[in-house]
Amino acid sequence: MAERQFPAAIANPESQPYWDAAAKGKLLLKACKGCKKNFFYPRSICPFCGSSDTEWKEASGKGEIYSHSTMRRVPEPYALAYVTLAEGPKMLTNIVDCDFDALKIGQKVHVVFKPAKEGPPIPAFAPD
């Protein structure tokens, strides 16, 4: 079965560092120096405490599936998922390189970077 082709990422001045890191095979998230919480998706002002003293942090790339659903009514089925990152926050993503029928909540996964139609590769997750 053909794999779904990722569309090009949409970057803006606020998210550019995330995609620059993805181009180097690194997954970033944001950490707040004010309340010490990690958050995702990244933004400049902390959604927990409102502090603008936030910094980019490289994620370990490890996590586990919080929930998932495989879209079947398309020519190239794909698995949408939330992955709970080892750093705490949940990230909306896809699970790839897997048997869709075997996916389970709680399953350990790790980040992989997949080519996009153009631009930087897209972070997705594969079972360990």
Partner 1 sequence: MSIKGKAYIMGAYEHPTRKAPDKSVPQIHAESAMGALKDAGLTKDDVDGYFCAGDAPGLGPLSMVDYMGLKVKHVDSTDVGGSSYILHVAHAAEAIAAGKCSVALITLAGKPLTSPVPRAVIPTAPDASYESPYGIVVANSYGMCAMRHMHEYGTTSEQLAWIKVAASHHAQYNEHAFLRDVVTVEQVVNSPMISNPLHRLDCCVITDGGGALVVTSPEVAKSLKRPLVRVMGAGEAPKGQAGGDTDLTYSGARWSGPIAFAEAGVKHSDIKYASIYDSFTITVLMQIEDLGFCEKGQGGKFVSDGNLISGVGKLPFNTDGGGLCNNHPANRGGITKVIEAVRQLRGEAHPKVQVKNCDIALAHGTGGSLGVRHGAATLIMERV
Residues that bind partner 1 (CB under 8 A): 4, 6-7, 9-12, 14-15, 18-19, 29, 37-43, 46-48, 66-73, 78, 80-82, 85, 88-94, 105, 116, 122, 124
Rounded CA-CA distance 128/125 in Å is 9
Beta bridge partners of 91: 83
| Token couple for 14 | 């606020």
- With CB under 5 to 8 Å by kind, the binding choice for 9 among partner 1, Zn ion, none is partner 1
The answer to whether residue 51 forms part of the interface with Zn ion (CB under 5 A) is yes
- With CB under 5 to 8 Å by kind, the binding choice for 93 among partner 1, Zn ion, none is partner 1
Token pair 């698995």 is at which residue? 79
Identify whether 78 is preceded by a cis peptide bond (ω within 30 of 0).
Answer: no
Rounded CA-CA distance 113/94 in Å is 11
The answer to whether residue 69 forms part of the interface with Zn ion (CB under 5 A) is no
Question: Is the Cβ of residue 22 or residue 32 nearer to Zn ion in the bound state?
Answer: 32
Provide the binding-site residues for Zn ion, judged by CB under 5 A: 32, 34-35, 46, 48-49, 51
